[in-house]
Structure 1
Amino acid sequence: MPFPVSYDPDAVDSAAHLIQVALTPVFMLSGIGTLINVFNTRLARVADHLEDVRKKLAAPPSDTDTPDPFYTPERLAAHELRLHRRIFVLDAAIMLNAIGGASTCGAAMALFVGSLRDASTSTWLLAFFGIALACTVGALFFFLADTLLSWHGLRRDGLSLSSPKKN
């Protein structure tokens, strides 16, 4: 006698779809958490570099050492300004990613409440997930801005060191 199993393809497809939809916010949160970790690490490095530049600016010049053309007060002040800009764009990237993470949690909550109450929560779900995606894209644009600021600073410092000053 065969084992009695009822197989309803619609119920299986519905359950599989619900699992797929429920896992999407988990993967999104994982990605957002990784991005926040990367941005925080980069922000910490920029802040450490800023502290080093401020120490060099505050240190009195020594008469015995030959001055390093890279660490002139003017260059250090310009570098300090660039580091402040990088901190600003990294802060904005972290803030947008945090909003994206919160919106992803809101989308997951809307999905959960919608499945419990069998209510129409598609508007909330789409709004939260749309905000999460938009904020994540915005955070990546701010990260790109930090990368360009970093690259521009390295390129500018490298070019000005290699070319002699004309008087």
Structure 2
Amino acid sequence: MIPTLPGITTVAQTITLALSPIFMLTAIGQLLNVLAGRLSRVIDRVRALEQLHPRSTGPEHDRHIWELRLLDRRISIINASLFLAVSSAVMTSLVVVSLFVATLGKLHFASIVAIAFILAMILLIASLVSFMFEVRLSLRAIHVRKEYLDG
């Protein structure tokens, strides 16, 4: 018996099924863009503070140390969020590939595809939660200090 290739209709249906994960990849790409931008800005701020730190004294010196610690924590959180978002993108890509492999090979591993998609979503959720935590943490450094508001 000669194996038959799937018809154009089957491939078109698979492409339709793959569109949602592909849109998700687009959204993850935008998230990665935002995270990379935030990481860049944090690193720029660290470099600026590292220049000021040796020349500072007293309360200003303490403020620099406090902010450098906060920025170091933010870098760690952004890196974790980036890792989770990239992992989600990889899992989402595997879902798309799995859809086509299953169609072309007439394989039945819907459970594997579903589990991969669920894992991709969990990784994306974890990345977004990390991002939210980093944004909240960044607000601690942005608040106008009381001594400026009183005078």
TM-score normalised by L of structure 2: 0.85
- Deviations along 1:145-165, whole A, 9 cap, x unmatched? 11101112222x52354358x
Tell whether 2:128 aligns with 1:137: no
Q: Which residue of 2 aligns with 1:5?
A: none
Q: Which residue of 2 aligns with 1:113?
A: 101
Structure 1 runs (4+) deviating above 4 angstroms are: 14-17
Q: CA deviation at 1:20?
A: 2.5
Distance (whole Å) between structure 2 residues aligned to residue 58 and residue 127 of structure 1: 52
The correspondence of residues 23-38 of structure 1 with structure 2, limited to 5 A, is 23-38=19-34
Q: Which residue of 1 aligns with 2:114?
A: 126
Q: Which residue of 2 aligns with 1:102?
A: 90
> What is the root-mean-square deviation of aligned Cα atoms in Å?
2.2
The code of the aligned residue for 2:33 comes to N
Q: CA deviation at 1:19?
A: 3.3
- Say which SS state the counterpart of residue 40 (structure 1) adopts: helix
Q: CA deviation at 1:59?
A: 3.0
Distance (whole Å) between structure 1 residues aligned to residue 102 and residue 65 of structure 2: 55
- Say which SS state the counterpart of residue 145 (structure 2) adopts: helix
Q: CA deviation at 1:24?
A: 1.4
Indicate if the aligned counterparts of 1:111 and 1:121 stay in contact, CA closer than 8 A: no
The higher relative CO (CA closer than 8 Å, separation ≥ 6) is in 2
Tell whether 2:139 aligns with 1:151: yes
Between structures 1 and 2, the one with greater helix share: 2
Q: CA deviation at 1:111?
A: 0.6
- Say which SS state the counterpart of residue 118 (structure 1) adopts: coil
Tell whether 2:38 aligns with 1:42: yes
- Deviations along 1:49-77, whole A, 9 cap, x unmatched? 0111111102366xxxxx9x6xx100000
**Structure whose CA Rg is larger:** 1
Residues paired across the two proteins, number? 144
Point out where structure 2 has 5 or more consecutive residues left out of the alignment. 1-7
The code of the aligned residue for 1:44 comes to S
The code of the aligned residue for 1:159 comes to K
Distance (whole Å) between structure 1 residues aligned to residue 56 and residue 77 of structure 2: 31
Q: 1:159 to 1:126 in 2, by over 3 A?
A: farther
Point out where structure 1 has 5 or more consecutive residues left out of the alignment. 1-10, 62-66
What's the % identity of the aligned pairs?
26
Distance (whole Å) between structure 1 residues aligned to residue 105 and residue 128 of structure 2: 36
Distance (whole Å) between structure 1 residues aligned to residue 84 and residue 120 of structure 2: 9
